[in-house]
Amino acid sequence: MGALAQDDALERDTVVLKFGGSSVADAERIRDVAARLVAAREGGRRVVATVSAMGETTDTLLALARRVAPNPDARELDMLLSTGERVACALVAIAVHDLGHEAVSFTGSQAGILTDAVHTRALIREITPVRVVRALEEGRIVLVAGFQGFSRETMDVTTLGRGGTDATAVALAAALGAACEIYSDVAGVFTADPRLVPDARRLEQVSYAEMLELAASGARVLMLRAVELARAHGVPILARSSFSDEPGTWVHYVEEMEQPAVSAVTHSEDVVLFSVEGVPDRPGATAALFQAIAAEHVNVDTVLSDGGSASPGLSFATAHDEAAAARLAVERAAAALGALEVEERRDVGSVSVVGAGMRSHPGVAAKMFRAIDREGVDVRLVSTSPIKISVLVDRSAVPRTVRGLHAAFGLGEEAAEGTAN
């Protein structure tokens, strides 16, 4: 199936290339990106590129806004943060011109990226790439500012949230019938984070389903929403490094027959655990709490409910950057439900094993928990899906849990292909 995905991508006459912030961090790297675009164009393909802001620009702008005001207005924050990608796009276009090729840069709205009206984490609703198509027909290399769009409802600039340039690239590829290549500072999808596990292996291919679970549980190679878009529109993605010629990892439809039980171990230290006590024991009370959380656009994971008392409690996990919104949501829910006691823990992390073969390989959970026990790690919460098992543990225990599980499932460089069962 990997060869089929590659053949399909190479047969498409248009390619969308995405470059992360580290790929355009300085003038030299910007020239390197421009050279890649020119090489693709000279190879006979129509070329669209979308780039992130240079280096740490987004973090710098966000920190500046928070020095001006502790809780910046969301609309103005989008206006501010969207400038980083525009700068990077224009600079890459200038570098392409210097190499003797025609290029044009567009903002998200100029490229026809239309979103809902939610600021700082908008969802793409539609792409009408009229100007992009016209520029491609004129033989130009097109640069599109990533991470941003435009709401017809409010006529405002919006941003797509962390990693949003991945979503921009995949959505453009879907709209143009193009192939999609995602360039970053990693060489593809690995069996674990190589910074924690030195013998982690690069995977040649990963199914959409596996990549969705990996992205949701901490792998930072691709944005979760970008993978969702790719699966929905059948866009094969090649994830590879800007800094080497390694072949990368294909993310696409994979025949799941005889897949290994576990393909990778992933982790996240970007976790906050909320424990809420005093939720009334009546129909609709828990739903009201989570409706309040949803109204703040907070994504919740690993929910555990204790319904054995008159005032049952529940626990849920969310990402650090959504913790403030989650806290506000609980406070608002308390106005309708009565006093709630809330404990917020930031000393936890999640570790997950992911594999499409879990459906047909019994014993994965038993092997996982035996390995965790051998490491002397206490598990706080457990969540599962058909192809993933996740645990919440003390943050200090995350590295040894990842290494222990990686070894237990035989995922390292020394493992023979197909033995990770």
How wide is the angle at C-alpha 90 spanned by C-alphas 89 and 94, nearest 5°? 120
In this prediction, residue 163 carries a pLDDT of 87
Q: What are the extents of the domains in the chain?
A: 2-186+221-252, 264-268+348-408, 272-345
Whole-Å CA distances, 21 to 18, 166, 296:
10, 11, 28
Residue identified by tokens 């047909």 is 360
User: Could you tell me whether strands 179-184 and 341-345 are parallel, antiparallel, or unpaired per DSSP bridges?
Assistant: unpaired
In this prediction, residue 368 carries a pLDDT of 94
Q: What are phi and psi of 122, to 5 degrees?
A: -70, 155
* CATH 3.40.1160.10 for the 2-186+221-252 domain, yes or no: yes
DSSP characters for 331-395? HHHHHHH---EEEEE-SEEEEEEE-GGGGG-TTHHHHHHHHHHHTTPPP-EEEEETTEEEEEEEG
CATH topology classification for 272-345: Alpha-Beta Plaits (3.30.70)
Nearest to 225 by CA among 291, 235, 413, 91: 235
Beta bridge partners of 76: none
Burial (Cβ within 10 Å: 0-12, 13-18, ≥19) of residue 362: exposed
In this prediction, residue 312 carries a pLDDT of 61
In this prediction, residue 419 carries a pLDDT of 43
Where helices occur in 69-207 by DSSP H, the ranges are 74-98, 130-137, 164-176
| Amino acid present at 69 | A
CATH of 264-268+348-408, one of 3.30.2130.10, 3.30.70.60, 3.90.1170.50, 3.40.250.10: 3.30.2130.10
pTM of the entire predicted model: 0.84
In this prediction, residue 1 carries a pLDDT of 45
pLDDT by 10s per residue, the chain, length 421: 455 555 566 567 899 999 999 999 999 999 999 999 999 999 999 999 999 999 999 999 999 999 999 989 999 999 999 999 999 999 999 999 999 999 999 999 999 999 999 999 899 999 999 999 999 999 999 999 999 999 999 999 999 988 899 999 999 999 999 999 999 988 999 999 999 999 999 999 999 999 999 998 888 889 999 999 999 999 999 999 989 888 999 999 876 555 778 999 999 988 899 988 888 877 888 888 889 888 888 888 777 776 554 456 788 888 888 888 889 888 888 888 887 888 888 999 999 999 988 877 788 999 999 999 999 999 988 888 889 999 999 999 999 999 999 999 999 866 544 443 3
